[in-house]
């Protein structure tokens, strides 16, 4: 009985291996197009320093909801020149919320 069960298990494993061997798991016949991202590292170092934004959250609104005060902060990208003067401020779609109980 034990030998028959082992033989049945062995045949089952071989059948599964043979079945899976029929599938081609490689993409050699049907390659997938993968987008390639090119980076340009030839930029001037001084010029690239002015293009790095500083991320900052600023208070957008403050409201009372169900006995809680909810402060909404919005993220901004701030671009400065080499003298520290703000050149451009761009709002992003990122928000943070702080909620605390009103006493």
**Residues 49-63: pLDDT tens digits?**
547 888 999 999 999
The number of domains in the chain is 1
- Label residue 69 by pLDDT band (50, 70, 90): very high
Model confidence at 38: pLDDT above 80? no
Task: Answer for the pair 98, 68: CB distance below 8 angstroms, yes or no.
Answer: no
Task: Answer for the pair 80, 56: CB distance below 8 angstroms, yes or no.
Answer: no
Q: What is the DSSP letter of 77?
A: E
**Which of the two residues, 101 and 17, has the higher pLDDT score?**
101
The tokens for 2 are: 């034990």
Task: Look over the chain and give the mean of its residue pLDDT values, rounded to a whole number.
Answer: 76
pLDDT at 8: 74
Which run of H or E residues covers position 59? Answer: strand 54-65
- Label residue 13 by pLDDT band (50, 70, 90): confident
What does pTM read for this prediction? 0.49
Partnered with residue 20 across adjacent β-strands are none
**Which of the two residues, 52 and 101, has the higher pLDDT score?**
101
Domain span at 78: 2-101
- Label residue 37 by pLDDT band (50, 70, 90): low
């Amino acid at each position: 009985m034990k030998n028959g069960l082992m033989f049945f298990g062995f045949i089952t494993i071989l059948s599964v291996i043979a079945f899976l061997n029929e599938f081609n798991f490689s993409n050699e016949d049907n390659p997938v197009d993968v987008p390639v991202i090119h980076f340009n590292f030839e930029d001037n170092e001084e010029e690239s320093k002015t293009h790095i934004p500083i991320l900052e959250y600023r208070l957008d609104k403050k409201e009372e909801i169900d006995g809680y005060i909810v402060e909404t902060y919005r993220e901004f990208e701030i671009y400065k020149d080499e003298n520290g003067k703000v050149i451009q401020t761009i709002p992003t779609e990122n928000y943070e919320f702080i909620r605390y109980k009103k006493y």
